[in-house]
Amino acid sequence: MIVFIDSSALVKVFVIEPGTPAIQLFVTEALANLEVNLMTSAVTKAEMMAAFSAIPRGRQLSQRRFEEIVVEFRDRWQEFSVPEVTTDLI
């Protein structure tokens, strides 16, 4: 089964906000299930970095925590399948 996760959901894996526990559980279970292919788009990486950059301006988030989130996201990026964007895909 292919499951698509966009940046608005994926950010909840790394940042505590409404819906975080449910999304964290879903992603953990999906990644543990060999029959599930958790996919996202290539643009998600840029969207996530933009979202992470915006968080310190709007909330109480230390520079250290911001940097930890970015490192964790980069480390975990390979867990998601990212299809090549081709004319056939579009």
Q: What is the pLDDT of residue 56?
A: 65
At 34 the pLDDT is 86
For residue 57, give the amino acid letter.
R
72 membership: H or E segment, kind and range: helix 63-76
Check residue 65 and give its pLDDT. 85
Q: What is the pTM of this model?
A: 0.77
User: Both tokens of residue 63?
Assistant: 């520079």
CA nearest to 14, candidates 51, 57, 41 = 51
pLDDT at 59: 67
d(CA 23, CA 21): 6
Q: Which two tokens stand for residue 89?
A: 């895909």
Note the pLDDT of residue 58. Answer: 64
- Averages of pLDDT over runs of 10 residues in the chain (90 residues) are 92 90 93 90 92 75 86 93 78
